[in-house]
Structure 1
């Protein structure tokens, strides 16, 4: 990542397009990557860029330094919470993918690499993504109850969906700290690797996804999400129309040609 210029006190999100990938780095290591409003707005801009740029197929969210993020920088966010004011402008992609009015939902996949302290917003960002690679040194905590507030970035929804209500409430109501092995057991993360390998493994997975047919990847992701959120019947109702649309694409034709010619397909997203 290009981090030659000093990190500003309010932090930043550093973006790098690498082939079909958009790497998005959380950069405020001196404050354990605690999120300020400026950082959150920049992250929303990065997610919007990922969705809007046809050359980009997969996002990779990661962090500078030893920790993913300690969560929100509460002193800088408290005024927004008290006023009920949105931090990111209308029309952009919501990094938490909650489907709130005025925000767009993401269509393209995101892989997240987490390490060290991954608290509150960090857990919610990774659960809002699609695939999570965790370092073995991760320390997780959804500790809003210790601060007199509630997790409103999706943790109450997605922790229960991934691990069951009892497991979710164990950590949501105590605000305790748990490790990578527990996160893997509860399906909050998909892989646990050594800290030195976490970004490399996330990039490997992202590259593998980016090599597939982009239209099919987006359709598959959205259908699986619909199943989780609206149920199997809602997802099944889309099968026929979606398959017909994909089958007439240039990528589907290339998929058949590559199968016949016994070679790797070269997809264009058309």
Structure 2
């Protein structure tokens, strides 16, 4: 089941970063365009791309979008008079959220409602509304067995190395976690509790195979770790002690029970 459905099943809205993480798996070209708008400073100069079903009109960069499906072209205004409103650096995140909402909610609303109608005949809404989306995913699939040695062997580092003190503390802390917190960490960084059948060497990102990554995060030393689920990436500050790392990491992954961590 596509994980974007879990919040809908329990009667909650998708968090914007959940949509951001799953969109490229559904529409590759559009996912690339949307991600580039967020991540790249030169997004306004990029060429419009894609012939696989969707593209963003950025030669005008308005709050409207054009989709090409089976050679039929349809224009959508994401907000009233959106075709006449330019997207700017200050408003690009709003634009990305509007694209996500249109593709993953508005455009498929009748199908979602039909799915929910059938699903709720089998599982009454009131029985599952007490859960959040991550709890419901675990209820359906159970707690996975996480091989931490395999995860550690298939982790890449940026501005850290495997020998860095903070990284050694990180693995000591994670190996002391109970099973539930290990799953929370996996959900926090990758967006899902599922472990690939072939092990963590087969972990997928939005553009294909993507190993678990830990990157040094700059900023205030007491800041929480954050995650980019599109890239299976944990941004980990250089904490001054193992105890501080453990406290900050646990706080981050528990807070993420209500939404994906995203820095």
Q: Could you say whether these structures have the same fold, taking a TM-score greater than 0.5 normalized by the shorter chain as the test?
A: no
Q: Based on CA coordinates, which of the two structures has the bigger radius of gyration?
A: 2
Report TM bin, short chain. under 0.3
More contact order relative to length (CA 8 Å, sep ≥ 6): 2
**What is the TM-score normalised by the length of structure 1?**
0.23
